Every structure is written in structure tokens, then in C-alpha cells.
Structure 1
Amino acid sequence: MCKIKMIAIDVDGTLLNSKKELTKKVKDTILRAQSAGIKVVIATGRPLSGIKPLLNELKLANQKDQYVICFGGGVVETTSENILLEKTLTYDDYVDLEAISLKLGLHFHASTPDRIYTANRDIGDYTLYEANLVNLGISYRTPAEMKKIKIVKCMYVDEQELLDHKIADHTPFAHLDNRIAFTKTAPSYYEANPKGVSKGSALRFLCQKLNLTSENLMAIGDEENDLSMIKYAGVGVAMGNAVPAVKQVAQVITEDCDHDGVAKIIEKYI
């Protein structure tokens, strides 16, 4: 296992426990891995603003040679905010996605690196939750006012029971499959990214930049948007709390996020 030179770690439900805490054991283990020369890459659906406190704790912040994958693979950048790769949705994508939300009666918002936008004056509870979680403000904009705004991803956000019911039939989304990737990333989140965007494709790009191969990579995650990186990595790890689809493709299953699963798998393999 000495081949492992980089560890990609999801945030919610993986790096953080169910209380959104970074435990001392996980933090100390990651710091020890870094001291041993292992590069640690946070791979998350959040924007950079939503992980800055974690980067500070892990001594990764504001560095030209440390990297993060944000927006589920839509952006690859250094922790000093130099963007290396960025893929965005078009205005037509946004209009089509927003129209689906109206038809299905789901709350919906668009995410940019510095703001969340909603065309619904009755702002959804989960839009408010997401804004607070990732430290971004919310702006109300009509679809017509969104033409010049760079959108990295869009999100359908609602109560889990309602969301699951509405997305169980993919038919309303199917006409966009040739240009949009839809992924369930949390119980109340259904995300839309440009086709081809994933944590796996972002890690492939980063490995090529750093002259690494997939055999040099360990990837740890719990949700459907972690599938691609777990499949790509030489050592793909599912958390004990991972959804069944992730556990099915992982080579290894570690403890859950409330029992320091990230620390235990790093200690075992590195």
C-alpha cells in the first residue's frame, strides 16, 4: 500500500460526523498522513467558502500546492484560490432546470462560487440551510435576470419524502440527459451538473497534473456523487454510513462517520 500518495476525502458524512464535526482523531490522523508525505484533497459538493474552516484546521489553507475539488467536480482549484478547471451550466440549462422545478413543485436554486440564487420568493428551508452551511448569501433573481451569472450547479432541495417521490420517475428530467448529470447527493438534495462533471473526472485531471495514477489514489465517500471517485481510485473506500450503491462498488468499507471511519482506514492502509 506504499503506492498511495494522495487521499481524496468527501466532507459531509465522511470527513465530518453526523453533527458536522471534525473529530480530533480524524484531524490528527490526516495531519500524520500529511507529515508522511501523503497529499490530502478535499472533494466536496460544497464551494470553497464552505470548507475554508476545515482547510485551516487541516493546515491546507492558502497554499499553491494544495488542492480542492468543489461543486462535485465542477471546479478544481488550489487552496489559494487559483482555478485550474471549471465547468459551468449554460443559461439555457438553467432555464430548463428551473422549469422542471415549477412543474414538479420542488424548491430549486442555482449555485455560483460566491452566491446562491433562487427565483422563488418563498425561499425553501433547504436553500437557507445550504447557504448557512457553505457560508454564502442568497439573492432573489427572476430567470431573466440570470443571463449573465456564471452557474456551476443547480439543486432541487426539499423534504426527503417529497423529493424522492418527485424524482422516482426520471421522465421530467430525461430530455436533458444529453447535457446534464443528475445526482442524489444527500437525502434532501438532487443536484444538476454539466454532463461529464464528477469527482472522479476531477481527480483524473488532478492526478494527471501531479503525475500520479489511479493506483496512487485512495478515495473515501458515502453518497452517490462519490461513486465516480471511488470507482476511479486504486483504493475506493465506502463509509459505514454510505448508501448501498457506494458500498457495492467500494473495495473496502470502513467504520461510519460517527466512529472515525476516515481515521481508521487511513491508519490501516498508510
Structure 2
Amino acid sequence: MSAIRAIVLDLDFTLLTRDKTVRPRTLESLVRAHDMGYQLIIATSRPVRAVRSFVPEELLRRCTLITLNGAVVHEFTRGHQWQMSCMGLNARKLISRMVDSEVPVQITAECWGEDFATNREYTEEELRKKQHADFSMLKTIQQIDYGWISKVTADGQGQPLDFLIDWADDFPEFSFIPVLENTVVNIVPRSIDKSTTVVTVLKRFQTHPSEMMVFADEMPDLRLMEIAGVAVAMGNAVSPLKEAANTVIGDCDTDAIADYLEKTLLQEQETA
């Protein structure tokens, strides 16, 4: 095994179980890993407000958090946050085209991951459950500050958005990332993704990608798996990730991450 210095985790269906909790043994093993000197990085497409609602503070304060598909970094260990890239004014053209589309598209535009803009009307309960927000964080599409948009999400509400994915040629500066069988499309600046932002964060820790261990389950993490020193696919991961991984562990609803860390990094430290 490579000399590992950093542990990188995807959020949904990797660190989190299907009911959006962190298993107690997983929490304990990651806290131990941090306290033994390993850097912890969580990389997700979600905004920071959602991560705070899922990940216990005991773990979050020990992590560097990469949100919105690599667009924003929150260094809780140092109290810093910064934006890696923004979509710029061309996001206005993209959003206007979505609004005018014949197919209804629910649009969410994120800047830093606290406030957000949308064309959907929410009840207070829907806002809390689906966006992990309250009305003070909600803006209309007309109130968007286009100069700071980090990510746009298009939700077909169960309907495939293949037509929107086809717009990629018209917006070469953006990456169109379909998920959930193309019913949701995340759109971010092409200049960044999870892997490029993780590499930037690792440089701040004077750590090479070959010194990271990655846990993941979905296609947006494939590049991370390819450059990692140790690539670990969840048992529920898609086939290409399993093929790219050094090892495949159990399902996200089990203690698979804890089991693997205890048999590898944590055991090695204890016997060193």
C-alpha cells in the first residue's frame, strides 16, 4: 500500500447511508484517523448547508469540505473558505434558455452554498427537507448574482433531461453532469471538478495524489479513483468505479469504511 496521508470521501451512498446518516463506527474510525494525523476531505456535489445537516459536527470540524462539484472549498480546520471558479455571465444565457424550455425544468443556482436561487415555489417544510434551508436563504431567479454562480442544477422531476445535455456543445465552458438516469443535470465550470479541486487542496497539505485513499460510488469520482494511491469502491458503486478500484468493500449501509480503515491505516499506525 502507498504511504497514505489523506482520506477522501464522497458523501451520498459512500460516507452517508441511504437514510443520510453516518454510521457510528465509521464516524469513530474517521475521527481516530484524523487524530492520528491523516487529512480528511469530503467531496460532494451538495452545498455546504446540506452537508451540515447530515455530517456530525465532531467529524465536520476535522475535515476540509469540497462542495458543488469542486467549485467551493471550506477548510473547517483553518476557518477558511474560497471559490475555485464561477460560471460567469454566460450562466444568464443558460438559465434563460432553461426557463424558456418547453419541458418544465426546476432550476437551482448556487453561489457559496448558503443562499440559493430557484424558480420553484417551496413550502417551509419542503424547503427544510429538500434544500436544508429556510426562507431567509431563498432567492428568486430574478435575484441571482450571476457573477458568483458556482453551480446550476436542472431537475426534470423524474423526466429525463437529454435535450439539456445536448446543449453542452452550445456552452463549451461548462460541464454538464447527468445523474439519476439523466433526470437531474449538474452544470459547473469546465475548468474545475472534484478531482482538480482535491489536487489543489492536497497541495496545501504538501500531499501528492498518490498519497490519498479515495472512497466513492459514482461516476463523477472516476477521475479521483484513477489518480489515487488507493482507490476503494463501495459495494453499491457503479461498475466502472469497481473496475477502476484497487478494492471493493461492502455496501454504504454497512460498516464497510470502518472495517477497511481498521484493517489498513489504523492498524498500521498502531503497529508502527
TM-score, normalization: structure 1? 0.83
Q: What are the residue-to-residue correspondences of 1:81-230 with 2, within 5 Å?
A: 81-100=79-98, 102-103=100-101, 104-113=103-112, 114-121=114-121, 129-132=129-132, 137-142=137-142, 145-147=143-145, 150-160=148-158, 162-163=159-160, 166-167=161-162, 170-176=165-171, 178-186=172-180, 188-230=183-225
C-alpha contact (below 8 Å) 1:47/1:134 kept by paired residues: no
**CA separation of 1:239 and 1:98: change in aligned 2, threshold 3 A:** farther
SS of the residue corresponding to residue 108 of structure 2 reads strand
Distance, in Å, in 1 between the alignment partners of 2:150 and 2:165 is 22
Tell me by how many angstroms 1:98 deviates: 4.3
Shift of 1:33: 1.5
Structure 1 residues 245 and 129, CA, compared in 2 at 3 Å: closer, same or farther? farther
Query: Which sections of structure 2, spanning at least 5 residues, go unmatched?
Result: 266-272
Give the counterpart letter for 2:58 in structure 1: E
Superposed CA RMSD: 2.9
1:22 aligns to 2:17 (yes or no)? no
Quickly say closer, same or farther: Cα 1:120–1:95, change in 2 above 3 A: farther
In the alignment, is residue 69 of structure 1 matched against residue 66 of structure 2? yes
Secondary structure of 2:20 counterpart: coil
1:183 Cα deviation from its structure 2 partner: 1.3
8 A contact 2:8–2:213 mirrored in 1: yes
Deviation at 1:232, TM superposition (A): 2.0
Structure 1 residue 14 displacement after superposition: 0.8
Q: Percent identity?
A: 21
| Equivalent position SS for 2:253 | helix
Deviations 1:147-202 (A, max 9, x none): 45621100012334x13xx22784233211x2001113456532000012111101
The alpha-carbon deviation at position 258 of structure 1 amounts to 0.6
Q: Which amino acid aligns with 1:209?
A: R
In structure 2, what residue type is equivalent to 1:266? Answer: L
Change in CA separation of 1:110 and 1:81 when aligned onto 2, cut-off 3 Å: farther
Q: Give the total of aligned pairs.
A: 259
